[in-house]
Structure 1
Amino acid sequence: MTQGNDQDPYIALHGLQKGYRMGGEAIPIFSGLDLSIPRGDFVAVMGPSGSGKSTLLNMLAGIDRPDAGTLRIGNSRLDQMGEAARSSWRAHHMGIVFQFYNLLPMLTAAENVELPLLLKPLSRKERRIRVEKVLDLVGLAGREKQYPAMMSGGQQQRVGIARAIVSDPGLLLCDEPTGDLDRTSADEVLEMLRFLNRVLEKTIVMVTHDPQAALYARRTLHLYKGDFVEEKRAA
């Protein structure tokens, strides 16, 4: 089932196939998945466990490679890249927000956010300016020197979002970004993602189990047994 009708999509999957082997058994996940996402969209992907949500996100992130089919993001064919090329592409074009934040506990908020910039030809002053700017953007100005253990879950996720956007990527992939948060903190994080999408025009793909979280997206795709079965658009 083809999702999206954008003539020149930012993300385009066609005939995508992916499977795994468990013991001697081949387990197909996708057997011809099609997907079209225009630049600047905010898509929530929902579905039961085992439907392929994590596999889809891993392929979009260049962590996994499809067995067949095409996977293009922007002008780059991720399905044709080797592991090193995909890793380099990911560092330059994409930010990832994780469910459990993935912050290094021995580093301050500023140091955690700075990590992606260490791969770029920037001076220490340039890195500091960028870090301060994004921490202010996510509402954490003045908390640069705090460690993760000194912060609430919602604040830690804001640090995670700041780290994801500090390199100014065009694409954000969010893996259950509110799965470890209470409702109030979750809504604050989702409002931040909606701001990044609507004001800063980031393209966002968010995997979630939470129907309330999906309401913040522009459209919701439902995966079932490796295929899209339904699409809901925001009112």
Structure 2
Amino acid sequence: MSDPIRLQSFITLSEIDKSYRMGGQTVPIFQDLSLTIEQGEFVAVMGPSGSGKSTILNMLGGIDRPDRGKLTIGNSQLHRMGEGALTAWRAQHVGIVFQFYNLLPMLTAAQNVEIPLLLKPLNARSRRERIRTVLDLVGIGDRAHHLPSQLSGGQQQRVGIARALISDPQLLLCDEPTGDLDRKSATEIMEMLQFLNKELGKTIVMVTHDPESTRYADRTLFLNKGVFESREVAA
């Protein structure tokens, strides 16, 4: 894994407008939204359904784009990129962790982790070495040849995190990473994300409904009707 270079501001959203078309009507999500996140920061985002949390993650991952405003991550101006450039940028710089793991059931843990590497110019030996490294890192190296159905929910999420890490991204986007787990497994996953943040310097933006999970973040942002609010996390 590469050593992180800390920047004063790694992610910058400046005066972002975003809306969607629904049933012939334009529904605004954000108007003049601005946000700055430093490199190596762990940020949790909370808010009710429909507040724009998923839209934030999609824009940070280059899956969606603002209607107006500037979105910069590192030295990349995402608001200026075309679809092809965004796809290539995302493959190199972003890892995504999903609530429901999104593992292919017919593939082993190692094969699921390998998927992002298949389009890279790596030989089979190099891919195997990377897979072994990340599976050991997330604590399931001994489950490499197990199918998802042979793994617990917490183990499946570890496979999902390993897959997100396999390309050594700068940014991890986590969409309710503990939402389908029991408390013990959720705690283990959050401790792992905190390790990736503190020890490997990964910048993490996590959407969550779980106040317990926010304890592992450097700060928590509350999104309500497209606006960030300041408030305390409930104990």
Change (3 A) 1:138 1:213: same
Residue number in structure 2 paired with 1:40: 40
Mapping for residues 38-187 of structure 1, pairs under 5 Å: 38-187=38-187
* Structure 1 residue runs of 4 or more that deviate by more than 2 Å after TM superposition: none
- Give the aligned partner of residue 3 of structure 2: none
The reply on whether 1:226 has 2:226 as its aligned counterpart is yes
Provide TM-score, normalisation by structure 1: 0.95
- Secondary structure of the 1:142 match is helix
- 1:189 aligns to what? 189
Give the Å deviation of 1:8.
3.7
> How high is the sequence identity, in percent, across the aligned residues?
65
In the TM superposition, residue 232 of structure 1 has moved relative to its aligned partner by 5.7
- 3-state SS of paired residue (1:119): coil
Work out whether residues 41 and 218 of structure 2, in 8 Å CA contact, stay in contact via their aligned partners in 1: yes
- With normalisation by structure 2, the TM-score equals 0.95
Secondary structure in structure 2 of the residue aligned to 1:174: strand
- Provide the C-alpha distance between the structure 2 equivalents of 1:167 and 1:128, rounded to a whole number of angstroms: 13
Segments of structure 1 that go 5 or more residues without pairing to the other structure are 1-5
Aligned to 2:216: 216
What is the deviation of 1:24?
Answer: 2.2
Tell me if structure 2 keeps the 8 A contact 1:172–1:203: yes
Q: In structure 2, give the amino acid aligned to 1:95.
A: G
Q: 1:19 aligned to 2:38? A: no
Unaligned runs of 5+ in 2: 1-5
Q: Alignment partner of 2:168: what SS? A: coil
CA distance in 2, matches of 1:194, 1:134: 16
- Partners of 1:228 and 1:25 in 2: how far apart? 24
* Distance in 2 separating the partners of 1:168 and 1:231: 34
Residue 3 of structure 1 is matched in structure 2 by none
1:47 maps to amino acid: G
The alpha-carbon deviation at position 7 of structure 1 amounts to 8.3
| Letter aligned with residue 158 of structure 1 | R
Residues 221, 232 of structure 1: 8 Å contact kept: no
Assess, with a 3 A threshold, how the Cα gap between structure 1 residues 57 and 231 changes in structure 2: closer, same or farther.
farther
- Mapped to 1, the partners of 2:24 and 2:116 lie a distance apart of 39
Task: Work out whether residues 114 and 131 of structure 2, in 8 Å CA contact, stay in contact via their aligned partners in 1.
Answer: yes
| Structure 2 CA distance for partners of 1:231 and 1:165, relative to 1, 3 Å | farther
Equivalent pair of 2:7/2:39 in contact (CA under 8 Å): no
- 8 Å contact kept, 1:219–1:232: no
